[in-house]
Structure 1
Amino acid sequence: MQRYFVEPGQMSGDAVVLLGEDARHLATVMRSKPGDEIIACDGSGRDCLAEIVNIENGRIEARVLRELASASEMAWRVTVAQSLPKGDKLETVIQKGTEAGAAAFLPFVSKRTVVQYDERKEAKRLERWRKIAKEAAEQAHRSVVPEVAQVAGWKALLGRMADFDLALLCYEEEGRRGAGLRPVLARFGSSLPEGREGAPRLLVIVGPEGGFDEDEARQAEAAGAVCVGLGRRILRTETAALMALAAIGYESGEMGEARHV
């Protein structure tokens, strides 16, 4: 069944309205008609089953049949901070990271970032990144569209680490020394108090193609991050976040009975 994210103002207690590209897709590509059912989501966790009642002039109106339980989000809320990679690699990180359960993405610029950041192109790129997140969330049957933030500088990223319960810097030197992600996640999970309200907030920080230098690793540690390795192999920058998300998903119970929630 087709799933669509709509703006909160397009979904009331008993009605849903689809506009623009979503309405065109449903009407022309899916050839939907009155009486067909869809799943509508407000992007903040509310999902409902709705029946189309009217299709007219790029606007689709539907009535809410019933609320649906939302059970597709990770127990731990993970933000992926990705240093800008070359080409369209960030699009891959956002698409696959959304499928893997990331709650948000924070692109940033670090010392070894090769991409020349151009503020004039920022709005267009950000719009595309957010569209990719929305489409991936629909495909993966997510209840929440991950936020994609504006590109930040390294100092700004350091300043945001205090907003998270655990910040992890993916650093290949730690992998060579055998200091892996798993024990850090296990200690973090076991430290969570029973009955805690709200999902734990984690930040996963991934460097560009050349990785982080030692000064950046030390700066991140001073700001509260834990440097971790993702195994003994060298990963591409677009692979690292997905490895971390898989490990976090496993430790938080994504693959079976929850261990730490």
Structure 2
Amino acid sequence: MTIRLFSDAPLQAHTTLSLPPAAARHAQVRRVQPGDVLVLFDGLGCDWPAEVLAMGRSEVRVQVGAPQPVQRELPHPVLLAVGMPANDRMDTLVEKATELGAAAIQPLLCERAVLRLDGERALKKVAHWQGVAVAASEQCGRARVPHIAPVLTLTAWLAGLARPDSAAPVGQRLLLSPQPGAAPLHGVPPGPLCVLSGPEGGLAPAEEAAALAAGFHATGLGPRVLRADTAPLALLAWVGLRG
């Protein structure tokens, strides 16, 4: 199986380069040798074949070939805004959401969230989750890596969506809700989606009301109550299968 490696620097055809540190370590662990062919990608939508020229203790030099456009994205972009589940469940959510095609992930601090992050700890967690997304993209064949946004409170995020200068995602806004009155998923028309999903215990009533006031539509995923780290993945799988 060909090794795919992410480059955090833009790639250029017919050039030689030293792999970024993380990619170089990966290549060394996989015991690649001069003459082996890798696939590089920089998150801009192409795979780049590259031949290994030299392996050093800390440097791996490659010759980059011509780009090959890759289309492995969902038919329409999906932003997931998720109340962060605790322990390693957020790691798993980021990994699987990347595999299933999420375009971006917004970690949210909600009233009922078990995981509480701020300051330096939040910055480190976001960097870690971005690394999880990179590794998942390498494995699943995506040539684009989901952006993991800085941690925000749900209140701050909703307020940002309402600002005139907001770079708010275009598309329908869905609130994943277990409430009996939530609309069925099959009624959602094709197109870009901004999906809000709560933490363990769900969103508090005031939070649900604020999301609905911000233009989100309560949408159900069926008769079973899904975990905080399962519901967003079920939505992504549905989008991908609907295709």
* TM-score, normalised via structure 1 length: 0.84
| Aligned counterpart, 2:208 | 217
- Is 1:167 the counterpart of 2:173? The answer is yes
SS for the counterpart of 2:218 is strand
Q: How many residues align?
A: 235
**Equivalent-residue separation in structure 2 for 1:94 and 1:106 (angstroms):** 10
**1:109, CA displacement in angstroms?**
1.2
What CA deviation, in whole Å up to 9, does each residue of 1:127-165 have, x standing for no partner? Answer: 211111110111111101111111011122213274321
- Is 1:182 the counterpart of 2:182? The answer is no
What CA deviation, in whole Å up to 9, does each residue of 1:195-216 have, x standing for no partner? Answer: xxxxx53211110111123332
**Equivalent-residue separation in structure 1 for 2:217 and 2:56 (angstroms):** 54
| Aligned counterpart, 1:7 | 8
* Contact in 1 for aligned 2:182/2:218 (Cα 8 Å): no
| Aligned counterpart, 2:219 | 228
SS for the counterpart of 2:53 is strand
Give the letter aligned to residue 22 of structure 1. Answer: A
Larger proportion of helix: 1
**Equivalent-residue separation in structure 2 for 1:8 and 1:107 (angstroms):** 25
CA RMSD of aligned residues (A): 1.7
What CA deviation, in whole Å up to 9, does each residue of 1:74-102 have, x standing for no partner? Answer: 11111111112221111111011111111
**Equivalent-residue separation in structure 1 for 2:73 and 2:151 (angstroms):** 25
SS for the counterpart of 1:8 is coil
| Aligned counterpart, 2:90 | 90
**1:219, CA displacement in angstroms?**
1.6
Greater displacement, 214-223 / 83-92:
214-223
**1:62-211 mapped onto 2 (5 Å cutoff):** 62-158=62-158, 159-160=160-161, 162-173=168-179, 176-177=180-181, 179-184=183-188, 188-189=189-190, 200-211=191-202
Give the letter aligned to residue 150 of structure 2. Answer: Q
SS for the counterpart of 2:208 is helix
- Is 1:249 the counterpart of 2:240? The answer is yes
**Equivalent-residue separation in structure 2 for 1:180 and 1:128 (angstroms):** 35
* Contact in 1 for aligned 2:170/2:192 (Cα 8 Å): yes
What CA deviation, in whole Å up to 9, does each residue of 1:169-191 have, x standing for no partner? Answer: 10110xx336211212xxx22xx
- Is 1:18 the counterpart of 2:19? The answer is yes
| Aligned counterpart, 1:35 | 35
Question: 1:70–1:109: structure 2 CA closer, same or farther, 3 Å change rule?
Answer: same
What CA deviation, in whole Å up to 9, does each residue of 1:31-77 have, x standing for no partner? Answer: 11111101010112121111111222422222223322302111111
**Equivalent-residue separation in structure 2 for 1:109 and 1:122 (angstroms):** 10
* TM-score, normalised via structure 2 length: 0.90
User: Any stretches of 5+ residues in structure 1 without a counterpart?
Assistant: 190-199, 254-261
Percent identity over paired residues? 34
**Equivalent-residue separation in structure 1 for 2:20 and 2:117 (angstroms):** 33
* Contact in 2 for aligned 1:178/1:232 (Cα 8 Å): no
**1:52-67 mapped onto 2 (5 Å cutoff):** 52-67=52-67
**Equivalent-residue separation in structure 1 for 2:65 and 2:12 (angstroms):** 12
**Equivalent-residue separation in structure 2 for 1:121 and 1:65 (angstroms):** 40
| Aligned counterpart, 1:192 | none
* Contact in 2 for aligned 1:178/1:231 (Cα 8 Å): no
SS for the counterpart of 1:85 is coil
